[in-house]
């Protein structure tokens, strides 16, 4: 029998739970998941508060606007943070966007300064260098869930319920014999998850919307039980409601399929690469010509759309992308060796 009284909290219970959460925030103040981009002023690190263990953060962008590139950049920062703070924790990266091999090729390409396509096409054959790079990759505490050319035919389909079960198997020690503490789970990306069998009974035109909404509720369950934040790259709509021309940065309600993204996520940030909307080297402006923008090949914009807990939101940064290093910098920052 369902215990409906468990949904009701007395004044003293409310006060106690509020204090408990404040204590958790204080305990994790030095161990939240940070985001930093060199040269930004005001600093992204100071503006975007560290993610706490119960928070879910969306990274949304339209197709080909860098959400996977940015997430991988952030993931490497997180790995460095864990090392710097001496934290024996792991990053769990789930990808429905790229295969396990494609993710490996990206890492090899960055370390060996090769194009990932060189490995896929068979044009790279320096196996000694690749063995050295493999040692570098194996030292980064990222465990991956995804599809592979060598995927076991008996492996269960990767809808969110099964992904969650796989993560539970890993952290509990049932896979390796050792228990693991996740620092963060990255799920790339929400709208690409297969339709759960329970949702397949709905009308076809409603399945994807219902699936995404259901998965958002499952993410809340996951972050509570795993005691770590979840970063979720999201596909934005092709027709944006929140854009401010000539800027085409997705707004809070521009996540595809459901408004639950805007209401249920703790943090939302958006990415936009002007070259996907306009011709490179062109100058574009709004209707009254008061704002203009010159489009560059390596140009990107980052906006913090939402932060709960009384934190600021709305700030936009213009960034540049070093595609070879797979790094983001402030548009005016010139790090040594950057292109």
Structural domain spans, the chain: 32-330
Q: CA–CA separation, 289 vs 277, rounded Å?
A: 18
Q: How many angstroms separate the Cα of 111 from the Cα of each of 104, 129, 137, 335?
A: 11, 10, 9, 18
> What is the residue-level pLDDT of the chain in tens, covering all 339 positions?
667 667 788 778 888 888 887 777 677 556 789 999 999 999 999 999 999 988 999 999 999 999 999 999 999 999 999 999 999 999 999 988 888 999 999 999 999 999 989 988 999 999 999 999 999 999 999 999 988 888 888 888 888 888 999 999 999 999 999 999 999 999 987 777 777 666 555 555 567 677 777 888 889 889 989 999 999 998 888 888 877 889 999 998 887 666 767 788 999 999 999 999 999 999 999 888 888 999 999 999 999 999 998 899 999 999 999 998 899 999 998 876 555
- For 27, phi and psi rounded to 5 degrees? -65, -35
- How confident is the model at residue 339, as a pLDDT? 54
The angle subtended at Cα 36 by Cα 144 and Cα 190, nearest 5°, is: 40
Q: CA–CA separation, 72 vs 229, rounded Å?
A: 16
Q: Which of 31, 156, 137, 10 lies closest to 84 in space, CA to CA? A: 31
CA 262 to chain centre: 15
> Is residue 227 within 8 Å of 205, Cβ to Cβ?
no
- Regarding the domain with residue range 32-330, which homologous superfamily does it belong to in the CATH classification? P-loop containing nucleotide triphosphate hydrolases (3.40.50.300)
- pTM beyond 0.95: no
């Amino acid at each position: 029998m369902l215990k409906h009284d468990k949904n009701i909290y007395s004044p003293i219970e409310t006060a106690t739970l509020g204090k408990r959460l404040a204590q958790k925030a204080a305990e994790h103040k030095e161990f939240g998941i940070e985001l930093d981009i060199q040269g930004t002023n005001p600093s992204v690190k100071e503006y975007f508060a560290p993610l706490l263990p119960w928070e879910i953060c969306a990274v949304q962008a339209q197709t080909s606007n860098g959400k996977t590139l940015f997430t991988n950049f952030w993931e490497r920062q997180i790995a460095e943070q864990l090392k710097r703070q001496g934290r024996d924790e792991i990053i769990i990266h789930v990808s429905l966007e790229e295969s396990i091999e494609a993710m490996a090729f990206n890492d090899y390409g960055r370390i060996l300064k090769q194009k990932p396509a060189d490995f896929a096409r068979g044009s790279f054959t320096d196996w000694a260098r690749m063995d050295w790079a493999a040692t570098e990759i194996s030292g980064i505490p990222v465990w991956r869930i995804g599809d592979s050319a060598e995927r076991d035919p008996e492996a269960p389909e990767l809808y969110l319920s099964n992904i969650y079960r796989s993560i539970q198997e890993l952290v509990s020690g049932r896979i390796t014999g050792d228990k693991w503490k996740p620092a963060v789970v990255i799920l790339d990306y929400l709208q690409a998850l297969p339709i759960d069998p329970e949702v397949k009974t709905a009308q076809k035109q409603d399945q994807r919307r219902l699936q995404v909404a259901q998965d958002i509720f499952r993410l809340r369950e996951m972050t509570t039980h795993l005691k770590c934040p979840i970063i979720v790259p999201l596909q934005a709509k092709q027709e944006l409601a929140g854009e401010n021309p000539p800027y085409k940065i997705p707004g809070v309600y521009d996540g595809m399929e459901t408004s639950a993204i805007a209401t249920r996520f703790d943090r939302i940030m958006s990415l936009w690469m002007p070259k996907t909307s306009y011709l490179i080297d062109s100058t574009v402006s709004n209707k009254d010509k008061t704002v203009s923008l010159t489009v560059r090949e390596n140009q990107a914009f980052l906006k913090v759309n939402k932060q709960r807990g009384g934190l600021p939101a709305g700030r936009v940064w213009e960034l540049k992308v070093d595609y070879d290093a797979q790094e983001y910098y402030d548009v005016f920052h010139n790090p040594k060796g950057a292109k």
